[in-house]
Structures are given as C-alpha cells and as structure tokens.
C-alpha cells in the first residue's frame, strides 16, 4: 500500500471535459510501513498525525482528500479563518469541525466530517469513501487499460477498484 502524502488541489488535475480527475506530483509518495513518521506535505492539508511526527498510514491521505473535497464545495481554503501560526492550534484541536456545506446531501457533509477526524483510527478508509460517494457520481463506462507501473507520470484513480493507474504513453493518453 502506498500513500501520496501531499494531496491538495494543486496536485489534482481535471481533464478538459472536467470529468476525469488525475492526481499528480508523486514526489513525496511512499510505500507505507509500520515506521512511516516523516513530516512531509503541505501544512494546510497535512493530517494531524504527520504534523505531530506520529506513525501514520493511508488515512493521512483520506484526511487530505476530505479537506480538498470540502474546499471544492465551499471555495474556501481549509482553516481560512486562521491567521499565521493559528492553524497549528486548530489542527491540534480534537473537536475542530469544518462548517457544514449548504445545498449538498447530508451524507456528503457526514463523509467530510468523518474523513477529517483528528484521530486517524476514526476516519473513513478510502474504500469506504468510494462506497459512500459512488451513488452521487455520474460515471461513464469507459474501460481502463492497465499495465506495469515503473515511474510516476500522470495518474488516475479507478472508481471500480480504488486503484491508481498511470498514463504510460503521454501522446495517446493510454491508461
């Protein structure tokens, strides 16, 4: 299992039809081991356990994803109300809650809340995020072609199996 460790809007690209999301910049990604505890990423989107130099797993990406997802709906940066170093105190505030988003299904607000919990063990897994969000998606039947992954280039998350795929031939965008 791998973790991106720097999920944020700047590392997510939409294609020209705005229907395919591609995750990029895998420079900080790594295979998760029991001793993963280095502090990397962008502070605003960084999970509290990373910021606190504690061991972490893939749920650090769930936290970052939740903040990015919230930002997409609200068009506000997470912790926008914080000035300077105040962001650190908010991140360490165990009961901090992002404001609910108007005009979206309550299940999505709950998904964001549960995916951005302070304690990693209380967060959703990415697999459960996919199950919860799938009924709200307009999906296509496009076939995904896969092959061996040798280097990070352009990436795509498959909703069918929850796996990342990369574009191995940039000129044809063959997955």
Catalytically active residues are: 6
Q: Helical H runs in the chain? A: 48-51, 59-74, 86-91, 106-115, 126-133
The span from the CA of 152 to the CA of 43, in Å, is 23
Q: How far is CA 69 from CA 13, 30, 109, 140, in A?
A: 13, 23, 10, 21
Radius of gyration of the chain (CA): 16
3-state secondary structure of 13: strand
CB distance 56 to 50 below 8 Å: yes
């Amino acid at each position: 299992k791998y973790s991106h460790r720097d999920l944020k809007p700047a590392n997510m690209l939409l294609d020209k039809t705005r229907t395919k999301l591609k995750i990029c910049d895998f420079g900080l990604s790594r295979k998760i081991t029991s001793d993963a505890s280095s502090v990397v990423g962008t502070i605003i989107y960084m999970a509290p356990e990373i910021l606190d130099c504690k061991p972490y797993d893939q749920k650090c990406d769930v936290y970052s994803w939740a903040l990015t997802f919230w930002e997409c709906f609200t068009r506000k940066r997470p912790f926008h109300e914080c000035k300077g170093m105040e962001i650190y105190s908010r991140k360490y505030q165990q009961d901090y809650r992002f404001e609910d988003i108007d005009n979206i299904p309550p299940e999505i607000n709950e998904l964001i809340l549960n995916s951005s919990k302070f304690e990693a063990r209380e967060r959703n897994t990415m697999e459960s995020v996919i199950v919860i969000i799938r009924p709200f998606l307009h999906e296509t039947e496009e076939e995904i072609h896969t092959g061996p992954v040798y280097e990070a280039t352009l990436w795509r998350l498959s909703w069918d199996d929850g796996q990342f795929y990369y574009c191995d031939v940039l000129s044809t965008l063959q997955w």
